[in-house]
Amino acid sequence: MHSEKSTQTFERVCVVGLGYIGLPTAAFIASKGVHVTGVDVNSKFVESINQGEVPFFEPGFDVLLKRVVEEGYLVAQTEQVEADAYIVCVPTPFKEDHKVDTKFINSAVEAMAPHLRPGALVVLESTSPPGTTEDMANYILELRPDLSLDEDDENAIFVAHCPERVLPGQIMEEMENNDRVIGGLTPRGTQLAVELYGTFCTAELLQTNATTAEMAKLTENSFRDVNIAFANELSLISDRLGIDVWELIELANHHPRVNILQPGPGVGGHCIAVDPWFIVSSVPEEAKIIKMARDVNDGKPAWVIEQVKAALEGKESPTVAALGIAFKNDIDDLRESPSLNIVKTLGSENPEVDIRVVEPNVSDLPESLSAIPNLKKQELETAVHDADVVLLLVNHKEFVQMDTSLLEGKSVIDTKGIWRS
């Protein structure tokens, strides 16, 4: 199937930042016959994209990328160009104080400013604290005082926020079918952004203002974080009371209006463990539950480590099999992973303990672990066989399907509750 020929307002779109989010967004727009320039400061990414190769793992996406590149609708480069619309998909990490670091947005805008012309649309797609889209627009005006945000002005540009909510691994399905929240700084900004996302998104395009759109994304991830914190707190309470938290949750969830999530070793990844901080750092006085949820979830790894230490007591030259270091099941993503941090702390603080790490989704341990002498990567069966303590940290399918008779006679710490009989 060939890409459709564009008949719409946007003939040339520039997508800035070609990572997990920006590259699929660029390719989906290009597949509708819009000429897209994908821009990334990473020249290796640019090179591989122009050869039709996806620089990260995303099932099914390689076919689409190859097609739009071969047809000439998507071209990657390191420099920005003049375009009808820009979509900014650069990272938005936080700093030590949990406030957003806007250095990537700022550098993207600095490179964009000379190319901007009146009438252009600039969409910030990066997850951002309330007010960031407006700050970005003001920075553009600082760099280009000849432009304006006043819709009635002939030099007006239009600015909007449209956060992304796709799940990596399901991008081919979700990029087109997820509802989007779109908020402009002005009504025309919202309208133009709706038109732009309407080129490839077939779901509902929900219109609001920029600050509400920013908060919508942060609210979604805070909702998840708070609910996981509730489950994690229940796991501590249950341990103290000597009851099985998994049974407790299962029973409570039989109530028709109760749906408690599952506890675990903590919360990781670059979204749920990060985004709530953007609310907390914006309105610390009011965001009490959100802050406490972050603290509960961030405190869980230390509790798991105490459990392991208790299990090791009295054992001479003990061996621990640590199963899983990814931040969630069946992926290779180690960003902000509580499991990785648990293993790292256990290894570095207990040099007498021999730690065997099992992670079926990565070929080599990250440097932060491989530098620890008493820690090495091993296959599942051997690691479990040799272990005194088996520490289950991630519910990867290999662990769920494992023959549990291998666990007989071992101390088992199952942070995901997968081996309950």
Ligand X SMILES: NC(=O)c1ccc[n+]([C@@H]2O[C@H](COP(=O)([O-])OP(=O)(O)OC[C@H]3O[C@@H](n4cnc5c(N)ncnc54)[C@H](O)[C@@H]3O)[C@@H](O)[C@H]2O)c1
Catalytic residues: 217, 271
Joined tokens for residue 57: 């793992």
In the bound state with ligand X, the residue whose beta carbon lies nearer, of 40 and 354, is: 40
Contact 21, 164 (CB under 8 A): yes
Answer for which of 39, 123, 137, 325 binds ligand X (CB under 6 A) is 39
| C-alpha span between 25 and 31 (Å, rounded) | 10
Find out whether 398 and 360 touch, Cβ atoms under 8 Å.
yes
Task: Report how far residue 415's alpha carbon sits from residue 265's, in angstroms, rounded to the nearest whole number.
Answer: 6
**Of 13, 15, 18, 249, which one interacts with ligand X (CB under 6 A)?**
18
Tell me the closest approach of the beta carbon of residue 38 to ligand X, in angstroms: 9
Q: Which of residues 227-266 bind ligand X (CB under 6 A)?
A: none
Q: Are 389 and 343 contacting, i.e. CB atoms less than 8 angstroms apart?
A: no
Where does this chain touch ligand X (CB under 6 A) — which range of 103-111, 279-287, 289-297, 354-362?
A: 103-111
Q: Which of 8, 43, 51, 107 binds ligand X (CB under 6 A)?
A: 107
Residue 10 near ligand X by CB under 6 A? no
Question: E-strand spans in 162-284?
Answer: 180-184, 205-209
CB distance 132 to 102 below 8 Å: yes
Binding to ligand X (CB under 6 A) within 331-360 occurs at: none
Instruction: Find where tokens 């029973």 sit.
Output: 251
Considering the complex, state which of residue 156 and residue 159 has its C-beta at the smaller distance from ligand X.
159
Contacts with ligand X, 43-62, as mask; x by CB under 6 A: --x-----------------
Nearer to ligand X, 89 or 342 (CB): 89
Give whichever of 90 and 392 is closer to ligand X, judged by the CB atom: 90
Nearer to ligand X, 46 or 296 (CB): 46
The single residue among 27, 40, 199, 262 that binds ligand X, judged by CB under 6 A, is 40
Q: Which helix (H) or strand (E) holds 228?
A: helix 210-241
| Contact call for residue 398 and ligand X (CB under 6 A) | no
Asked if 116 touches ligand X (CB under 6 A), the answer is no
Q: Where are the alpha helices (H) located in 242-358, listed in sequence order?
A: 245-252, 275-282, 288-312, 338-349
Contacts of 381 (CB under 8 A, 6+ apart): 406
CA–CA separation, 116 and 147 (whole Å):
9
Contacting residues toward ligand X, per CB under 6 A: 16-22, 39-42, 45, 89-92, 104, 107-108, 126-127, 164, 166, 168, 270-271
